[in-house]
Structure 1
Amino acid sequence: MEDSMGRRPQKLELTWFNKDQALIPTEEGKYGYTWVDPKDPRYCETHTLVAEELVRGEQSPKEEGVTYSERADLEPAEDNLLVLGESGDVLEALTQVPELADKYVGQVKCVYIDPPFNTEQTFANYEDNLEHSIWLTMMRDRLVHLRTLLSDDGSIWVHLDDVENHRMRVLMDEVFGADNFLAEVVWQKASSPRNDARGFSIDHDVLLVYGRTSFTNLNREELREERRVLYTNPDNDPNGPWMFSDPAAPGAATHKGMIFGIQHPFTGEMHYPRRGRCWAYGQEKMLEIMRGWGPYELGKVTEAELDGQRSVLGGQSEPRTDVQPLIWPGWDENSAKRSVEKWNSRETLPQVIFTKNGLGGFMVKRYMPDTGEPPRTWWSNDRVGHNRAANNEIKALFPGRNPFSTPKPERLLERVIHIGSEPGDIVLDVFAGSGTTAAVAHKMGRRWVTCELLEETMEQFTRPRLEKVVRGEDPGGVTVTKGERVDATEEGLPEGISAEDAQKLMALLNKAISDNDQLKKSQDIRTLKALVKTAKSKDTVNWRGGGSFTVARLSPSCFDYDPALDLTTLTGAATGATLVASVAANLGFYLTPKDRHFDGILGRQHLAVVEGVLDDAKVDDLMAHLPEGHTLLIAATIVPEGVRDHVRRFRNGSRVLHIPLDLFTYTTAQEGK
């Protein structure tokens, strides 16, 4: 049974102080919050986004002699958004303002957020000392919006340390559903231990990864060189290079139909999966494979066969008398000789093979995957960078400044974005900071949306960094992939040795003979060096600039709540176009700026916002321009007595709404109802 959001009911739920309450910022541009009722207009108000400027860059032409990746040929994304404003209000705008909701709801493929870790420390550019219940409420409200924005095949990545990780895991189970948990990725963030640590020196952060639904689609990763060299093709298998792999899988208790004996074609002995495991293939498939070795058939279920099954099951359940072993009838020394000849013939071997030149245990061929490997959960800093590398990237962009204590390296975000999206997809980050997520997304041909709370951070770091990206003035991070070690031998590196392995071997060898002139001149040493000779390939350029982004800010609040009056009031910003846009957003109307008479439309209903007195003459004028069969909603700041009756006389279903009392009817008398 599922809830209204399509999630299965949770058996475990996290509770905290004031979980049923909402939070509003106590001061613009800072992390500080006040508890209010969820119906309080200061929480419920939908803000709009006010576009201020379009920042554009041009893609530079390719240069002769420079190596470029396929990514460098991607069309730079144009439809990107950088917003100054509180993340909760920005997410509310993206999900509730009709023009934005049409564009983003259910359209975001990958969300990465690096929220305040709640470590009771005050960093230079944001406050990070939120009490647990405040932090959980803040994150809960944002996660709900983020879930709405994600596409059905999208994923969310939440970057955390060990302070709130355990609580966040339960909270995300609640919001996204435990069934949609994908992984807890561990990132090795440290490059060395901290001598000033009290107790343990923390080496890692985690990224909790959840899918929007069970249809979440993740990309595989390219097979690394040190993994690629493990695959060989000694028998010219037409399926390509392969490596030895375990022929058994977990699940003996639930897959008893896949537990049976197989007679070894070399020794004649019966073999079974290891205890607690079952064959990776069913009986029919295994029989087909073994017939590549000889005339295998289904044998009789003897007491010896049942004992063999029992050795696998370990007393957890009874063996099955209806599952027959695979045998080579009449196996003898000639059968063994035939198997050895097949092994030595260098012809393509069956998919089941054996260790120790055929005399060892059962194995199967695992072929080199064409589409790469599934992403793994351990991300070492030599692959995705560490905090020190991230600091160096920021210092290169902003020389002489060290503004962030825990920036993230671009290679870390490169892996997240690669796994979670495709070029052209939307990537979202609502805790922009230095802008790493948006910068990397842009360089990878993704569209992006990001926001930053602190104006100083945005103006000094986030925006300038992204301007450098679109203008092609950011040479660091993933802009360029440094050249790698490659095979430089005449006949290829020895089997199973990667270029990295060869480089390490060469370095160790040179170190070992550094003080021995005789060995340095040795022909054997020279021959060995020639066998493991490598070279460094050229650097590869991945980004040439280009694309654009819109700079916007969150609209000011038009509505406030006065506890003394127990009423919703208008702020000083509630005037002109700001008021019109706010009313339209909070009522769910699309703005119609080119319409001379009406401010918005929703289906066949028009909206007119009147700042001031709504009198009969104004009503008559609006009604005169109302299309046949349409209705009108008039929202006015002053509604005199009798004007509602005047509107009703038109008998076309039109009505009048007072701003703000009919928009937000909350009073303290309603609390708890």
Structure 2
Amino acid sequence: MQIEPKIMSQVKSILGEFGNKYLTSKGSLKRNNVINDLDKFDHVLMTKLFKDPLIHKNYVEKIANNEVFKLNQFIEMFEYKEFWEDSYTKYTNKIGLTANGKFIDESADVVLDFPFKDTVLKAGMTKEDLDKDASVDEPFLNETIAKPEIDELLEPKIFVNARKYDQNGEHKISNYSNHDNLIIKGNNLIALHSLKERYAGKINLIYLDPPYNTGTDSFAYNDRFNQSAWLTFMKNRLDIARDLLTEDGYIFIQTDDNEQAYLKILMDTIFGKNQYVNTISVLFKNIAGASGGGEDKRLKKNIEYITIYSKNRELSRPFNSVYQYKKVSQLVQEMREAGVSWKYTSILVDAGIEKYIGSTIDGGGNEIKLYKREHPIIKSINALMKEEGLTEEQAYDKYGKFAFQTAMPQSSIRPRVMEKWRNLGLNSNELMSIRYVPRTGKNKGQEYQQFYKGDSFRLFAWLKDVSEEIDGTLYKKDVLGTFWNFVGETKNVNKEGQVEFPNGKKPERLIGRIIEMATEPNNLVLDFFGGSGSTAAATLKSGRRFISIEQMDSQIYLQLKRLNNVMSGSDNSGLSSDVDWHGGGSFVYAELMEKNQGYLKDLLAAKDINELDAVYKRMKAGADFDFRVDLDKYENDAERKALPFEEQKRLLVRLLDKNQLYYNFNNIDDADVHDLISDNDYQFNQSFYGKKD
């Protein structure tokens, strides 16, 4: 029996009512006859099609109170050529487009230009989902011929094994709140669509570290897509991700240079070119030593990229300022060695006695009070080091908050102050100060004090305004640009959170910096490539809420272990010291309820042909097969029966519809489904998809 897309099956059923006009005696479609009559708007045919509920739902649109049949889109379906039309063994080792019996990548006259723009690719994240000889063992579901299948694929799914973790351990739960942190186990595309109704427009920040499409085997994720597949894979997920973002939200995506350029073009398409914000270059390793005797033909990679987009630039909130820090004493030494002058060498040891001498006004008519400073004491940092026997580091730690340099600012305040000083008959200015309330800038609305020195009234610029004291040590801080150095953070990243994840793990401080930039406390952060839980851990420690999605059992284990370490306070790595973390918090864990997944696991576990045949018999009774599968053809294919055991196993994995791995929520009240879940899980689903507190 040929298992087809629902639309095609329904259309063939209707066409069969016309005898042999549109179908052959064997049930094959007479495409030309159908398309010709559709072009002529054959009244009888169009009426039958128009009245069918499934066809009406997918191909009729209401415009100005009139129902319009989308004929061109409907006709496209009849131009579709079934992919496995000839046999199950012809394309066992390769999936692609052919012309005259050859794959198009074998022809120099054809360019593969992202041919799957209108498709949905579920793309399992584990290497178990990969055929060893194919780039991707997943069907591309075309929106024209498989829209009902796509609709069903993306319907909300049932959650099972719901439980809550906090400092007191694990607890069964039956309710869910938007205040909860959440970890979901399951395919991320399907999980994202399960979140849509509850969380559309509510995610403040999305951080992603997706597969880099490098073709390496050292990483546990499915990291071996071809170009078009990777773009489709990302597009499907970014489409729904955009819907989940708040209007003022941001999305940060980390990649290497393998796909960064393609990703930006894809993001321009989905978010809009005017929503592009920045690309950050992140240094993860220093390159040193010989490069192999000059034999290398490519430069060594030491940079990754973070591409940033907003959802609505006009409404997006400004980034919170984030800084990079360096000890002042270390910075001074580095500048000295580089022959660069360090300006903050004068110290206002004593500001002297403040004596009011008069007032002037600023451009808005607000008062500026002038003070003469009597008996001030100013010394150089070197003089203080000699007087007190201090090292340079000790001197700056003690006196750095009083260090200054002088400047000639372009300000409307300074000329007014100079004019008033001279009108008062004062001449030489050893030191004076003013007090006023700025109308703009970081000190807007509060009284602010400035110092001026000398007859040219040079303004004091304080080191304390561009530095910060941390644990008694003074650090120069600079607002970050688009180059971030994280070489130091990579040295111990493997053991952050007390879980080891040797490849691809990102430092908590990197993600924490992004969270600090783009969110406020209690905002919601989403990572649907959850991995070992770096984003979840950094979010919890930063006082925000998180949703993490992950499919792989091994990664889920790491996330649960890591988050429990974070909550207990036993994890003092990563961001812990920066935010003074001592534990706390909670999260909910839930799994998408598996459907075909059991058959897939049994197929992969089969040791011989007898076990494989036994699984296949059970699959025939209860599994969902790929819509392109002809089981009669499969069972009677002599060439297939002669294949080696492993080849037959991979072929059966292909026949199984991996877009039907999970149960739909709208089936939760079906008796054969309801009996499979606990009462707690039933109530949890009703709470998750019902109440939206």
Whole-angstrom CA distance in 2 between matches of 1:406 and 1:414:
17
Matching residue within 483, 499, 502 for 1:397: 499
Do structure 1's residue 115 and structure 2's residue 210 form an aligned pair?
Answer: yes
Whole-angstrom CA distance in 2 between matches of 1:225 and 1:79:
37
Do structure 1's residue 451 and structure 2's residue 537 form an aligned pair?
Answer: no
Do structure 1's residue 162 and structure 2's residue 257 form an aligned pair?
Answer: yes
SS in 2 for 1:562: coil
Do structure 1's residue 185 and structure 2's residue 280 form an aligned pair?
Answer: yes
1:358-398 deviation digits (Å, cap 9, x = unpaired): 6699999999389997553222226xx5333212426x434
The corresponding residue for 1:79 is 180
SS in 1 for 2:530: coil
1:459-517 deviation digits (Å, cap 9, x = unpaired): 3x222222322333323222234xxxxxxxxxxxxxxxxxxxxxxxxxxxxxxxxxxxx
The corresponding residue for 2:580 is 541
Whole-angstrom CA distance in 2 between matches of 1:150 and 1:579:
25
- Check the 8 A contact 1:431/1:452 in 2, yes or no: yes
The corresponding residue for 1:36 is 141
The corresponding residue for 2:574 is 477
The corresponding residue for 1:499 is none
Whichever residue aligns with residue 377 of structure 1, its letter is T
Change (3 A) 1:42 1:474: farther
Matching residue within 246, 258, 268 for 1:151: 246
Whole-angstrom CA distance in 1 between matches of 2:682 and 2:561:
37
- Check the 8 A contact 1:113/1:430 in 2, yes or no: yes
Whichever residue aligns with residue 433 of structure 1, its letter is G
SS in 2 for 1:171: helix
**Matches of residues 559-598 of structure 1 in structure 2 within 5 Å?**
562-563=627-628, 580-581=667-668
Change (3 A) 1:387 1:23: same
CA-CA distance at 1:105 after TM superposition: 1.0
Whole-angstrom CA distance in 2 between matches of 1:391 and 1:208:
24
Change (3 A) 1:233 1:19: farther
Matching residue within 416, 419, 423 for 1:291: 416
The corresponding residue for 1:368 is 465
- Check the 8 A contact 2:247/2:311 in 1, yes or no: yes
Change (3 A) 1:176 1:292: same
CA-CA distance at 1:53 after TM superposition: 3.3
The corresponding residue for 1:309 is none
Length-normalised TM-score, structure 1: 0.51
CA-CA distance at 1:439 after TM superposition: 1.4
Change (3 A) 1:223 1:389: closer
**Matches of residues 547-558 of structure 1 in structure 2 within 5 Å?**
547-553=586-592, 555-556=594-595
Change (3 A) 1:182 1:80: same
Do structure 1's residue 58 and structure 2's residue 123 form an aligned pair?
Answer: no
Whole-angstrom CA distance in 1 between matches of 2:552 and 2:461:
57
CA-CA distance at 1:445 after TM superposition: 2.3
SS in 2 for 1:291: helix
CA-CA distance at 1:54 after TM superposition: 1.6
Whole-angstrom CA distance in 2 between matches of 1:49 and 1:289:
68
The corresponding residue for 1:669 is none
Length-normalised TM-score, structure 2: 0.50
- Check the 8 A contact 1:109/1:155 in 2, yes or no: yes
**Matches of residues 491-640 of structure 1 in structure 2 within 5 Å?**
541-553=580-592, 555-556=594-595, 562-563=627-628, 580-581=667-668
- Check the 8 A contact 2:156/2:664 in 1, yes or no: no
**Matches of residues 268-347 of structure 1 in structure 2 within 5 Å?**
286=412, 289-294=414-419, 341-342=428-429, 344-347=430-433
The corresponding residue for 1:387 is 490
- Check the 8 A contact 1:397/1:474 in 2, yes or no: no
Do structure 1's residue 468 and structure 2's residue 565 form an aligned pair?
Answer: yes
CA-CA distance at 1:193 after TM superposition: 4.0
Runs of at least 5 residues in structure 1 that lack an aligned partner in the other structure: 1-13, 61-75, 96-100, 249-278, 297-333, 482-539, 584-591, 604-673
Percent sequence identity is 21
Do structure 1's residue 89 and structure 2's residue 190 form an aligned pair?
Answer: yes
Whichever residue aligns with residue 563 of structure 1, its letter is R
Matching residue within 299, 304, 318 for 1:200: 299
Whole-angstrom CA distance in 2 between matches of 1:231 and 1:449:
49
Change (3 A) 1:439 1:593: closer
Whole-angstrom CA distance in 2 between matches of 1:431 and 1:465:
16
CA-CA distance at 1:211 after TM superposition: 1.5
1:395-432 deviation digits (Å, cap 9, x = unpaired): x434xxxx431211111111111112222221100011
The corresponding residue for 2:36 is none
CA-CA distance at 1:18 after TM superposition: 2.5
Do structure 1's residue 426 and structure 2's residue 524 form an aligned pair?
Answer: yes
Do structure 1's residue 441 and structure 2's residue 531 form an aligned pair?
Answer: no
Whichever residue aligns with residue 216 of structure 1, its letter is S
- Check the 8 A contact 1:185/1:207 in 2, yes or no: yes
- Check the 8 A contact 1:220/1:419 in 2, yes or no: yes
Whole-angstrom CA distance in 2 between matches of 1:339 and 1:129:
77
- Check the 8 A contact 1:30/1:454 in 2, yes or no: no
CA-CA distance at 1:241 after TM superposition: 8.5
Count of residues in correspondence between the two structures: 415
- Check the 8 A contact 1:473/1:545 in 2, yes or no: no
CA-CA distance at 1:110 after TM superposition: 1.1
The corresponding residue for 2:316 is 216
The corresponding residue for 1:141 is 236
- Check the 8 A contact 2:206/2:251 in 1, yes or no: yes
Whole-angstrom CA distance in 1 between matches of 2:323 and 2:236:
36
CA-CA distance at 1:451 after TM superposition: 1.2
- Check the 8 A contact 1:187/1:379 in 2, yes or no: yes
1:147-172 deviation digits (Å, cap 9, x = unpaired): 11111221111111111111212221
Whichever residue aligns with residue 52 of structure 1, its letter is N
1:293-338 deviation digits (Å, cap 9, x = unpaired): 2389xxxxxxxxxxxxxxxxxxxxxxxxxxxxxxxxxxxxx99x98
The corresponding residue for 1:18 is 116
CA-CA distance at 1:593 after TM superposition: 11
- Check the 8 A contact 2:159/2:593 in 1, yes or no: yes
Whole-angstrom CA distance in 2 between matches of 1:422 and 1:22:
34
Change (3 A) 1:187 1:294: same
Whole-angstrom CA distance in 2 between matches of 1:91 and 1:381:
31
The corresponding residue for 1:535 is none
Change (3 A) 1:340 1:373: farther
Whole-angstrom CA distance in 1 between matches of 2:527 and 2:217:
21
SS in 1 for 2:206: strand
SS in 2 for 1:393: helix
CA-CA distance at 1:117 after TM superposition: 0.9
- Check the 8 A contact 1:231/1:367 in 2, yes or no: no
